[in-house]
Amino acid sequence: MTEPQASPPSVEASKLVADEVDKLLQRADVVLSRESCATATRWLARAPACFDVIGGIAEYSGAGIVTAPIACGVAVTVRLRDDKKITLHRIGESSLKTPEPISFDLEWLAGRSVGEFADAITGDVSLRAAAGAVLAIFAGGKMGDGVSGATIVVDVQHPFLVDAGTTASSALATTMALVRAWGMHFDPNECAQLAMRAENEVVGFPCGDGPALSALYARRDCLTQIDCQTKTAPQHWTLPEGITLIGIDCGHRHDDADEKYARARTTAFMGRMAVDRILKATDLDGHDWQGLLARVRVADYSSHLKDHLPMRTRGADFIGCFGPTADRLTCIDPDAYYRIRSRTEHHIHEGGRTRDFATQIALSARPDGRASMIKAGKIMRRSHWSYGQRCALGSVETDRLASLLRKNDTKDGVYGARVSGHGSGGLVVVLMEAGDEARQKLNGVLSEYDEFSGQTATIHEGTSHGALEFGVHEV
C-alpha cells in the first residue's frame, strides 16, 4: 500500500498555518491554564469539515468519493497531565451553551467493553467523538503503561455540520494530536481508521472511512478523489478560475435521518449478499467485483442481475434465505421491509457516476472546460435523484432547493446541485460560477426557498487545509 504524504506547503500556505496555530493555541490556553499539567508543551492538530460532492454512501460499497474541505473544522489541543486522568473540554464559536467536560481515568479503560464505554460517555457529540478516539488508541495496543493522562481541548469552529463530517474531524484531530503527544507511531491511514472506530462505536454512526480520509487528505482550494478501499494516494484538482463549490444548509434535518441512513446501509449489504449468490449461480461468477457493489458493471446488472433481485422483502424472509449480513455495523430488523433492488442500483450506478464526475473535473482545466463543467453538473443531478428516489435519503426541503437551482440551470451560472452527506434534510452542495451575477441568482433562489419552506437556508463556503497538510504542531 502506498502511504500518501502531504505535499510540502508553499511559503504562503505555511504563513496561513502558522497564523492559525497561534490563534488556536490562544483559545485553547484559556482552558489549559486552569488544568493540572505535567508539561508546558502543547500538541495541536486540526481537521476540516468536508463537503461530500459525490460518492457519499457508496464509499462502503467500493465507490470512490470526491470531497472538498470548507472553512470550518475542528482543532484539538493536547497537554499531558501529571496523573492518569483524561479530561476533554469543548470550546468554539457556536452560540450553543458550552457543554460539561468529560473526564475518566486511563485505568478505567482496561477491561471495559466498547458498549460500556459508549453508554458511560454521554453529552456533546464532538466530545464523545474525541473520547472515542482515546478508546480506539487504547484498544490499538500500542499504549504503554507509562502513558500519562491528558487535557484535551476540542475547538469546534462554527458551524458544527453533521453532513460535512464534523464528528469524524473531531475524532481524527484528537487521534493525531494524542498519538504525537504520547510518542506513538501510526501511519495516516491508521489514524483515519481509529477515528472512524470512534465514530462507529462511540458516537454510534454507521459510516465508512470516507469522512475521516477526506479530512485527512484534503488540500486547500482543491477537490480530492479518494479510493476508500485501497486508501492509496488521493488525486487532487483545482476548479477552473471563476468556478466554486458552496453548501446550502436547508435549515431542517428530519428526526428519522439517522434511522434512514442506517437502513440504507443495511439494505446495501443485503443487496450485496443477493448479488453474490446470483453471480455464483450464473456464468458471471468470474466477474471481478470483489464483493463491492460499486464495481459491478452496469451492463451486467441490467442484463443478468436486476430481474433476480427482490424489489421489496421482509427482514425475516431475507434472514431465512441468506442469513445476517457480514457487516458489523448493520442489523436486519426481522419485522421491517427492505427495498433491496433500488438501494442496490444506487451503489452500482454511483461508482460509475463518481468516476465520470472526476474525469469531467480533470478535463475542465482545458480551454473548452465549460462543457466539462456542464457534464459534471448533470452527473451531480443524477446522483441527487438516485440518493432520494433509490435510497429514500432525500427530503422535500433539499429537493426543493435542487429544483429551484436547476430551474434556469447554466444560464444563471449554476451547473449542478446534489444532496450531501447523511441526507434527509441538511446540506445541498452546489457547483456554480463565482461571479456577482450567479450570486444574485442564488440569493433569489434562497429567498424563494425560505418563503416556500418557512426555513432559513444558510450558505457555507470557503476552504482550509487538510489534517495531514496542516500537520501536528508541538509548541
CATH number at residue 173: 3.30.230.10
Q: Is residue 154 situated within a structural domain?
A: yes
CA pair distance 310, 332, nearest whole angstrom: 16
SS3 of 188-257: the string is HHHHHHHHHHHHHHHHCCCCCCHHHHHHHHCCCCCEEEEECCCCCCCEEECCCCCEEEEEEEEEEECCCH
> Which domain range does residue 190 map to?
11-238+464-474
Residue 123: which of 102, 148, 147 has the closest Cα? 102
Residue 317 in domain: no
Confidence of residue 35 (pLDDT cuts 50, 70, 90): confident
Percent of the chain past pLDDT 70, that is, above it, reads 93
Residue 440 domain-assigned (yes or no): no
159: cis peptide before it, omega within 30°?
Answer: yes
Determine the pLDDT at residue 219.
95
Q: Considering the domain boundaries, does residue 192 fall inside one?
A: yes
Q: Is the pLDDT of residue 290 over 70?
A: yes
Residue 89 is inside which H or E element, if any? strand 85-92
Q: What is the pLDDT of residues 69-79, one digit of tens each?
A: 999 999 999 99
Cα dihedral sign, 93-68-264-456 = positive
Query: H or E segment at 152?
Result: strand 150-156
**Overall number of domains in the chain:** 1
Give which of 168, 163, 99, 162 is closest to 132, Cα–Cα: 168
Is residue 259 situated within a structural domain?
Answer: no
Joined grid coordinates for residue 34: 486552569
What's the grid cell of residue 274? Answer: 443477493
Sorting pLDDT into bands at 50, 70 and 90, what band is 95? low
Side-chain-side CA neighbours of residue 52 (13 Å): 32
Name the least confident of 7-16, 209-218, 280-289, 305-314.
Answer: 7-16
pLDDT for residue 326: 87
Q: Is the pLDDT of residue 22 over 80?
A: yes
Mean pLDDT, rounded, of the chain? 89
pLDDT at 1: 34
Any residues with CB less than 8 A from the CB of 44 and at least 6 apart, and which?
A: 21, 24, 25, 28, 75, 76, 77, 78, 177, 472, 473, 475
pTM of the model: 0.92
How many Å apart are CA 167 and CA 128, to the nearest integer? Answer: 9
Distance separating alpha carbons of residues 67 and 245, to the nearest angstrom = 10
Q: What is the mean pLDDT of residues 164-170?
A: 90
User: Quick one: average pLDDT of 272-287?
Assistant: 80
Q: Is 31 part of a structural domain of the chain?
A: yes
Residue-wise pLDDT tens digits, 451-473? 999 989 999 999 999 999 999 99
Average pLDDT for 309-330: 94
414 in a structural domain: no
Taking residue 297's Cβ as centre, other Cβ atoms within 10 Å add up to 17
